[in-house]
Amino acid sequence: MKSKCINKLQLTLPALSVNESVARAIVSAFCAQLNPTIEELADIKCAVSEAVTNCIVHAYRETAGDIYISVRIFDTRTVRIEIKDKGCGIADIELVKTPLYTTDTTGERSGMGFAVMESFMDKMTVRSAVGKYTKVTLFKTLSPLEL
């Protein structure tokens, strides 16, 4: 049986560091309607934080731009979160997903963003086109409600 979307959220924020916490708070508040465990909600917050930070730090590289967030909740208690930018794109997705790899030359970034996202979510996909966009899609199926 195919799962059915029961609610959705669309959000656009400027790619400013102050908006990382805003995105995390809004997405987690939206997901709270499914009554997730504290750990599940913390996982979602952390993954969203990493994806949004990637947009802010890497996608626009000191230029203005927006972050597009789409959240869908399904009747199977699955949450799908898409975080997209229209920035510089990624030439080699597998390379940037390698733990400790970073394009940051200042030494301030650890290169663990994608590894962190993958570790907290059930599934993660990354699509990108150089000079056009990057879209990270995160999936998390929440545990069944206890009666």
CA dihedral 50→94→79→27, nearest 10 degrees, is 20
Q: Are strands 123-129 and 133-141 parallel, antiparallel or unpaired?
A: antiparallel
Tell me which of 72, 109, 118, 127 is the catalytic residue: 109
The answer to whether residues 86 and 132 touch, using CB atoms and an 8 Å cutoff, is: yes
Backbone φ/ψ region at 105: left (φ over 0), alpha (ψ -120 to 50), beta: alpha
Give catalytic status of residue 50 as yes or no.
yes
Tell me which of 19, 20, 40, 54 is the catalytic residue: 54
Tell me which of 20, 24, 40, 50 is the catalytic residue: 50
Rounded to the nearest 5 percent, the helix, strand and coil shares of the chain are 35, 30, 35
Tokens of 123: 């599934």
> Catalytic amino acids?
50, 54, 109
